[in-house]
Structure 1
């Protein structure tokens, strides 16, 4: 009996290991940025912008399998392949653009985390000596110390559990909202004028958080570390599919919850604290605490990989080992982490700063997609594994979608910046 139990445990562990990159994508994408953009979208427009979520998940699937296949067949990561084929200039341009996205994301995420945490402290405790900057310094100090000591794995797992509870709460809330709405399904899809007001930057932010350039670049690193070979291409495809399906379902549940709890009641979301009402129907008074824990978990578990990603990208570009003990990499990590203090100290609306940071991703996605199409059709790189007509067509459609999202993002920023 014991050998059977051990065998079953090994099978489960192997399955979890095989789908490790999928868990990373779900954990990274369904974070503070995703929650923020989906809640604001639901609160302001119901499910009318859900098409952007659906299409971004759909096209992200093809990008994930394309990046994974390129990495598996070539044996090299995305940035190394880019430098080798297209030269240093374009590759450095993409890396710098990703760095801007990483830093702006850290700024917005920590701003939201500090604001939500302070609201919870104000509502639920009698503590009066804390403020936003002190809370931000504590969280950033915690992340830096975990990085410095290398004792971050259990912490990230604990944060992921907190995010999981919040995601589960949103799923339950969305079901309750639909059952108790007392209105037709059509009411969840109000008519809006696309391109007016702040819809452009919100759409770009929704797409940017799902089809995140940083996340796609890190996919290549994770696939290489996974040690997958051409025999694992089917496993990789399943992994990509499961990550995008789960991302879509969780994100849609957040939008539905916000529609039922905020949109139908005419509650606008201007600050991070306004989002706390989105879980009200199911958990009642506990909504503030659960949402706070979820946002802290989502925020810290997404900031931590962000701290590592720029050194990873440098290592990929140079083709060197990803040794995070190098003094240069440590300095970069600390510098990126300290950027999170900007909003708590200087001020601003962290919700819209975060959405704007996500809306930067569409600016580089057309170039990344175009480079992928070229590389995947090069016989000297892909050999007998050159992609066929089906994936070429899918990536061509993805390129067109990304060009349209670039246009939407540009228009959105022009309306967003006074």
Structure 2
């Protein structure tokens, strides 16, 4: 029986990912270095997220399949099946390991703002403790309650940016020009990819489809899944735009390098004064812990579908998958690299991997098992546009990295 009352669904978690440590860091650096000129990339990212997550919702609700399961079932040729699974598994492992490293590094960035702790055998103590917390929560399966608390704290920090956005009175003309007139200043390509990578997170496509099929199961409920997306995703985008705009007003033209939570805190000082550093520290820690729990879990759901492993939270194989991602993330965050650098790399990696996962999603959404709910011409055009723009930006960044452009 269809549920008559709307309730918050998987898209809320997707939106919560917008305001993790990656978004706070990347959006602050984008505003500080390029002012309002890259806001169009965030607008594109929000629209792209709505387009792709709506597809994953249909895949889950109508097809009752996760994206990983769809990829495994749709490729019939044995050789192509093996190659496809290897490609997507590699993308998930590389992308989520980097993302997990960024999550944990983001949480450590928050700890560093208020506690000058020692290292143990050249390993970051805060990263080890955060990894241990995530391990315990994932192992016991009690992550949902803790995640709700942490998301509430992150939302509090987001309110800080929205309040500061109003207080700082940004140049609305420059803001709307940045939103509506695409431009690519020198050295801005990686920042654009990072903004896309921190908003359109590839693992969310797997997580959303698997979560949607568990929450909704009839065509009549598809409208609820869409309403969930159309409310949650734009709200997350609004917060991201506020972070960029606040940083642009506070830092653009100052030549300040954003390397710590203390640097980021200066952008919300108009709203919180001396408490700004603690607000940023608490928000980064909460965002990092929450994402450090959900990213390995999403990896386990994605790879379970691809490898035909039961989605049992307590099975040995399921636990092994999230444990590998968690351990690699702790290792990356403990290498002595600047946390901001780790977070930055994670978002760029996500942006580069997006076209691969989105292409598989587009293919799945044109299959007969979806009946009248498979992609129409406009949905295919919009999906292809997202993929093409992502490929062009990724190619440009790689060519620039090898000094070929």
- Following TM superposition, by how much is the alpha carbon of 1:222 offset from its aligned partner in structure 2, in angstroms? 0.8
Secondary structure at the counterpart of residue 165 of structure 1: helix
Secondary structure at the counterpart of residue 275 of structure 1: helix
Native 8 Å contact 1:107 1:354 kept in 2: yes
TM-score, scaled relative to structure 2 = 0.88
User: Kindly tell me: are residues 187 and 170 of structure 1, through their superposed partners in 2, closer, same or farther at Cα, counting changes over 3 Å?
Assistant: closer
Instruction: State the partner residue of 1:384.
Output: 372
The aligned runs of 1:154-169 (5 Å cut-off) are 154-169=145-160
Instruction: State the partner residue of 2:105.
Output: 111
1:406 pairs, out of 394, 400, 403, with: 394
1:38 aligns with 2:32: no
1:220 pairs, out of 209, 213, 222, with: 209
Deviates more, 1:36-45 or 1:306-315: 306-315
User: Kindly tell me: are residues 372 and 314 of structure 1, through their superposed partners in 2, closer, same or farther at Cα, counting changes over 3 Å?
Assistant: closer
1:144 pairs, out of 135, 156, 175, with: 135
Instruction: State the partner residue of 1:291.
Output: 280
The aligned runs of 1:9-408 (5 Å cut-off) are 14-16=5-7, 19-86=8-75, 87-122=81-116, 133-178=124-169, 185-186=173-174, 194=184, 196-197=186-187, 199-263=188-252, 265-343=254-332, 345-379=334-368, 381-408=369-396
User: Kindly tell me: are residues 80 and 159 of structure 1, through their superposed partners in 2, closer, same or farther at Cα, counting changes over 3 Å?
Assistant: same
- Following TM superposition, by how much is the alpha carbon of 1:314 offset from its aligned partner in structure 2, in angstroms? 2.3
Residue-by-residue CA offset, 1:173-226 (whole Å, 9 max, x unaligned)? 011111xx5x674389799983633x2211111101111111112111111111
Native 8 Å contact 1:201 1:413 kept in 2: no
- Following TM superposition, by how much is the alpha carbon of 1:106 offset from its aligned partner in structure 2, in angstroms? 1.6
TM-score, scaled relative to structure 1 = 0.86
Deviates more, 1:204-213 or 1:347-356: 347-356
Secondary structure at the counterpart of residue 248 of structure 1: helix
Native 8 Å contact 1:101 1:357 kept in 2: yes
- Following TM superposition, by how much is the alpha carbon of 1:144 offset from its aligned partner in structure 2, in angstroms? 1.2
Aligned length: 392
CA distance in 2, matches of 1:376, 1:331: 30
Unaligned stretches of 5+ residues in structure 2: 76-80
Unaligned stretches of 5+ residues in structure 1: 1-9, 123-127
- Following TM superposition, by how much is the alpha carbon of 1:288 offset from its aligned partner in structure 2, in angstroms? 0.6
User: Kindly tell me: are residues 258 and 226 of structure 1, through their superposed partners in 2, closer, same or farther at Cα, counting changes over 3 Å?
Assistant: same
Native 8 Å contact 2:111 2:281 kept in 1: yes
